Amino acid sequence: MAGMTISKLAKMKANGDKIASITAYDATFSRLFAACGMDFMLVGDSLGNTIQGEQSTLPVTTEDVAYHTRAVRKGAPEAFVVADMPFMSYATPEQAYQEAAKLMRAGANMVKLEGGDWLLETIGGLVERGVPVCAHLGLLPQSVNVLGGYKVQGREQSAAESTVRQALALQQAGAQLLVLECVPIELGKLITQKLSIPTIGIGAGADCDGQILVMHDMLGLNSNYLPKFVKNFLTETGDIASAVELYVKEVKAGTFPGAEHSFE
């Protein structure tokens, strides 16, 4: 994992090499993930659910993400670390610049924002100012109240076409990675083919350039609810390090996610 960069991730896509990633929130796990060959880690605002016990990601602040980014960076000094920008921390371009700076100072290599067309100016401004951006389309957890719950996005033809168009626009604006969450397999495949930047799927099928899971889901720790796109790797292996290694191996081999973890 040492020395992973945006250009190396782009080269992996060009070569057809799958990208394995996972959420991380502390030094102990980031050290383990780096040792197991994880290509990059996301300090996700999912920490609201997994760490803080909140019902959604909305209460998470930039300061929360920065705190966990510092911890992840200390555990894995060489890792490529993406940090989520929390709900309403990038409502305007100017606000996004200020809040992104806090995350970059905390040790992030890149920030992630949820949304499409309305973010184009913000993404362009961040990149111009030296802040790499990962975009995020499909199911947007920060917009769960508008979407009416956690459900698959882009099933209708018009919605699918809109998602493809927005993905291309986000790339054009300067985004260098794109997370696709909870979209049908065919839509994930189409967007991956059309973009020159890597796509990272979570519930978006095996044709994406890479995969990401919330670490607690991958280890089967959220026993009250396991999304369809999740596989519990701990049950097959019996110990955490082996579970992480198996996840990386199956992503690299293209065997995870299978059809049972994907949406038609």
State mean pLDDT over 166-173: 98
84 among the known binding-site residues? yes
Residue 62 neighbours by CB distance under 10 Å: 23
Whether residue 96 is contained in a domain is answered as: yes
Confidence of residue 2 (pLDDT cuts 50, 70, 90): low
Answer yes or no: are the C-beta atoms of 219 and 233 closer than 8 Å: yes
Q: Which two tokens stand for residue 252?
A: 């690299």
Percent of the chain with pLDDT over 90: 89
CA distance linking residue 188 with residue 199, whole number of Å = 8
| pLDDT for residue 148 | 72
Pick from 33-42, 117-126, 221-230, 233-242: least confident: 221-230
State mean pLDDT over 141-157: 84
Residue with tokens 């200020």: 98
Residue 92 neighbours by CB distance under 10 Å: 11
Residues designated catalytic: 181
| pLDDT for residue 146 | 83
235 half-sphere exposure, CB direction, 13 A CA radius? 8
| pLDDT for residue 144 | 83
Q: How far is CA 147 from the centre of its chain?
A: 19
114 among the known binding-site residues? yes
Write the burial class of residue 12 (CB in 10 Å: 0-12 exposed, 13-18 middle, 19+ buried).
middle
pLDDT in tens, 200-211: 999 999 999 999
Query: Treating both helix axes as pointing N-terminal to C-terminal, what angle do 62-75 and 93-105 enclose, rounded to 10 degrees?
Result: 30
Three-state secondary structure string covering the chain: CCCCCHHHHHHHHHHCCCEEEEECCCHHHHHHHHHCCCCEEEECCCHHHHCCCCCCCCCCCHHHHHHHHHHHHHHCCCCCEEEECCCCCCCCHHHHHHHHHHHHHCCCCEEEEECCHHHHHHHHHHHHCCCCEEEEEECCHHHHHHHCCCCCCCCCHHHHHHHHHHHHHHHHHCCCEEEEECCCHHHHHHHHHHCCCCEEEECCCCCCCEEEECHHHHCCCCCCCCCCCCCCCHHHHCCHHHHHHHHHHHHHHCCCCCHHHCCC
Measured on CA atoms in the order 211, 212, 216, 222, is the torsion positive or negative? negative
Q: Is the pLDDT of residue 195 over 70?
A: yes
For residue 114, what are the domain limits?
A: 6-261
pLDDT in tens, 61-81: 999 999 999 999 999 999 999
pLDDT in tens, 90-139: 999 999 999 999 999 999 999 999 999 999 999 999 999 999 999 999 99
User: What CATH number did the domain enclosing 112 receive?
Assistant: 3.20.20.60
Q: Is the pLDDT of residue 149 over 80?
A: no
What is the count of structural domains for the chain? 1
Answer yes or no: are the C-beta atoms of 102 and 149 closer than 8 Å: no
Whether residue 181 is contained in a domain is answered as: yes
Q: Is the pLDDT of residue 163 over 80?
A: yes
| pLDDT for residue 115 | 97
State mean pLDDT over 191-195: 98
Whether residue 144 is contained in a domain is answered as: yes
| pLDDT for residue 1 | 43
As a whole number of Å, the CA-based R_g of the chain is 17
Answer yes or no: are the C-beta atoms of 50 and 78 closer than 8 Å: no
Confidence of residue 191 (pLDDT cuts 50, 70, 90): very high
117 among the known binding-site residues? no
Average pLDDT value for the chain: 95
Answer yes or no: are the C-beta atoms of 46 and 235 closer than 8 Å: no
| pLDDT for residue 162 | 96
Whether residue 210 is contained in a domain is answered as: yes
Confidence of residue 150 (pLDDT cuts 50, 70, 90): confident
Whether residue 1 is contained in a domain is answered as: no
